[in-house]
Amino acid sequence: MTEQFAAPAVLPDWLRPLAEAAEDADPGHFMRLAPEPGASIRRSAVLVLFGEGPNGPDLLLIERASTLRQHAGQPAFPGGGADPDDDDAVQTALREAQEETGVDPAGVEVFAALPDLYLPVSSFAVTPVLAWWREPGAVGVRDPAEVAAVVRVPIAELVDPAHRGTLVHPSGYLGPAFEVAGLLVWGFTAALLSGVLELGGFARHWDADRRLSLPPGAWQPPPRTVQE
């Protein structure tokens, strides 16, 4: 790996505890899924980008286009699969964020990379790249075929117990969820987001017994393979 990380001294005070905690982060803090032996793994990365907006510290999220083959319509961190020319996960995350939202990598300070997390639906091993938006600029949808919306969500809204709950998925999955910015954040993104907020000392106690459901049409089961 060739990642170069910014020293904690360049970060705002409120972000330094996360930078320090990320050094010893364990994958089980975020999710406990592991690839099956012999599974084909694809490399990918997401950018967990912290900034300071008009409503205080925030995080950059996207809503994926509803026409995509995988994770259609879901809120997510900017990111995607690695290209052959990418040197490492940091380059993948920054490139994808620029392509999807217009974030200028020159204004971003990467301060940590979390352990790879496995996403079984797409067989991705995802590296979460943590970064500080030192020089924020305008962002928005660059390609409507991939991204439906780009939002900066204040951390205060994310940790507000009124915006949190446990998603009850039609498949039987139970996991953390966030109702923010007109979006229902769930699945991999919510699990990663919940873990990052806890790791950085931002989280507040919330009612895990508060149940949330996907809106109609938000999820379709994968097609069954018919064996002759």
Task: Give the pLDDT mean for 129-144.
Answer: 95
Predicted local distance difference test score (pLDDT) of residue 92:
97
Mean residue pLDDT across the chain: 87
- Quickly tell me which residue has 């994808």 as its tokens: 96
CATH class of 8-155: alpha beta
The pLDDT tens digits of the residues spanning 160-216 come to: 999 999 999 888 889 999 999 999 999 999 999 999 999 999 999 999 999 999 876
Predicted local distance difference test score (pLDDT) of residue 7:
83
Whether residue 87 contacts residue 2, with contact meaning beta carbons closer than 8 Å, is answered with yes
Q: Does pLDDT of 218 surpass 70?
A: no
Residues 6 or more apart whose CB falls under 8 angstroms from that of 20 comprise 8
Q: How many residues does the chain have?
A: 228
Q: Cα–Cα distance between 193 and 67 in angstroms, integer?
A: 24
Q: Does pLDDT of 222 surpass 80?
A: no
Three-state DSSP class for residue 25: coil
Q: Cα–Cα distance between 116 and 28 in angstroms, integer?
A: 10
Whether residue 98 contacts residue 86, with contact meaning beta carbons closer than 8 Å, is answered with no
Q: Does pLDDT of 4 surpass 90?
A: no
Predicted local distance difference test score (pLDDT) of residue 228:
31
What H or E segment, with its residue span, contains residue 158? helix 155-159
Query: Could you tell me the pTM of the whole model?
Result: 0.90
Percent of the chain with pLDDT over 70: 86
